[in-house]
Amino acid sequence: MQLVGVVILAVLAAAEDQEMDEVIQLEAGGKPYTFTSENYPFQPPDNFNQNWHFSTSPGSTIRVTCSDFRLVQKSETECTEETVTFTDGVKSEEVCGTRYGYTVLSSNNQMSVMFKTGMYGRGSFKCVAQGRQMDRYGEVTTTPLPNFREIPSQEIDSSEYGGPPGHKSTSCNCGWANKGQGRIVNGVETMVNEFPFMAALLDGYSRYQFCGGSILTEYHVLTAAHCTIKHYTYGKPITVAIGEHNLYYPHETNATAYHNVAVILVHPMYDARIFKNDISILVLETPISFSRLVGPVCLSPSRQPDISRSYVTAMGWGNLYYRGPSPAVLQKVHVRVVDMVSCNRVFRMVDHVSPTQICTYASNKATCQGDSGGPVVWLDPEINRYVQVGLVSFGTICADANPTVHTDVRAHYNWVQHVVTGYTPRETCSKVN
């Protein structure tokens, strides 16, 4: 079945709203349909209503995921005139504000998305709708990953963390962790300042945490391009919090500090449509003071060794579960690296021949909204230190049957070095062979 779209544009009297209606039939488990606000990524017309009416086969459902969603919000609990309403005829949800990876699931085979711009014509968004073929276990993918759907939670002996270096050294001190004896089960809250290289990206006006990042040098923080592109385009300020653990109670550690961003650098080949080269570097106005509680992550100039099927650790302040609350404290999760051929069967835009991304999966475990840009690290046994192999880029829905895709930091090593040595020059840390 092919996607069918019918557009009806009704232009009423000049004093009244303009309205556009689009009717789309989605094939269950088939090709996704991308839709955006009028004039995206720029501002839409004022007094303009856009409506999308999706349907799929009986017994199936519809998922809408918005990778970029920015509407004016009057307060934490109140929207302005500019809203997007999601409804399936049974339940309805009115949404505004700034969101990343926001996902809505229908309870049946219908969903309508209605966008109102109001008298000022503000807000923009980009979303993808897809029909979901369902069985008694949940969503059925046309290309299932049988080797990864049943990956259990990994129980890790954490006594090695923060221990002595391995038999190989690093060019500078990096990638250590602060953790005492004990065991980590099911990947939940981190210890305070467990990962000294973790950073939080805050909106420069509201101080709302919207993405994660990692410390490269005293002046450079690594994150995702989709986290910074709007700030870069519109000149919006970003503040970086380092040494942070509890976002709502900054006094549980004296390591917390805030740094304003002087320069935002987005990869010149970033493609927002497919999250290609989804990587960005923030140059800070003032240097970070390194200590045992705050320091840089290690990098690797090579994609070797092959870490397919290895466990890696992701961390962030993202939602605890799909459409759930954001935690106050830093969370971590252990997931397994999926081979790129299998990942390409799910996400066709992921290049498995010359990969610049990595994919991870574990049963009922994943990164979620708000984790974007945060580090995905691998404990290199040769140095017994954390090496950043990825940064959180995109997925379908938190902890579903599909992998999560991350930008492969190793594949972008040369670009990172070009930026770090060109803007407030410093050196990153890596393994010495």
Catalytic amino acids? 226, 278, 372
- Please compute, for residue 158, the number of CA atoms within 13 A of its CA located in the half-sphere on the CB side: 20
Q: Which two tokens stand for residue 2?
A: 């092919």
Report the distance separating Cα 128 and Cα 348, nearest Å. 15
Burial 264-289 (b: 16+ CB within 10 A, else e): bbbbeebeeeebbbbbbbbbbeeebe
Report the distance separating Cα 433 and Cα 429, nearest Å. 13
**Does residue 416 sit in helix, strand or coil?**
helix
Report the distance separating Cα 410 and Cα 164, nearest Å. 24
Numbers of helices and strands, H then E, in the chain: 3, 29
Report the distance separating Cα 276 and Cα 265, nearest Å. 15
**Does residue 43 sit in helix, strand or coil?**
coil
- Please compute, for residue 142, the number of CA atoms within 13 A of its CA located in the half-sphere on the CB side: 14
Report CA torsion sign: 419, 206, 377, 389.
negative
Which among 402, 215, 249 has a CA at the least distance from the CA of 330?
249
Nearest 5°: the CA angle 181, 183, 186 is 150
- Contact at 8 Å (CB) between 101 and 321? no
Report the distance separating Cα 357 and Cα 346, nearest Å. 14
In this structure, the strands spanning 257-266 and 97-99 are unpaired
